[in-house]
Amino acid sequence: MVFVVNQVTARAKITAEAAIALSQHGTVAPSILVSRVDFATSMTDGRTAVELDPSSKSAAEISVLWSYLDHRMKGAADHG
């Protein structure tokens, strides 16, 4: 299990507080997903934020998250 902190307001104090609180119950992914227009737009036309603009901050956040999760899943498969 991994917590993903998402839909946060950039630089809000509560974001760090939420991550700290969640970390007491499990692993928190290192990539925090900020509430961005790209994410809302992607839901309206069926594309991902990465497909809309691969160079966007949204795409970077998703890429970091996916790389982290992929690494964890491959590690779990190697030990399972």
Closest to 9 (Cα-Cα) out of 41, 35, 32: 35
Cβ–Cβ under 8 Å, residues 55 and 78? no
Is the predicted pLDDT of residue 79 greater than 70, yes or no? no
Which of 4, 2, 7 is closest to 58 using CA atoms? Answer: 7
**pLDDT value, residue 70:** 95
Domain ranges of the chain: 2-79
pLDDT digits (tens, 9 = 90+) for 8-52: 998 899 999 999 999 999 999 999 999 999 888 888 888 888 999
- Dist. CA 22–CA 14, nearest whole Å: 12
Say which residues have a Cβ less than 8 Å from residue 48's Cβ, sequence separation at least 6.
42, 62
pLDDT bracket for residue 80 (50, 70, 90): low
Its pTM stands at: 0.82
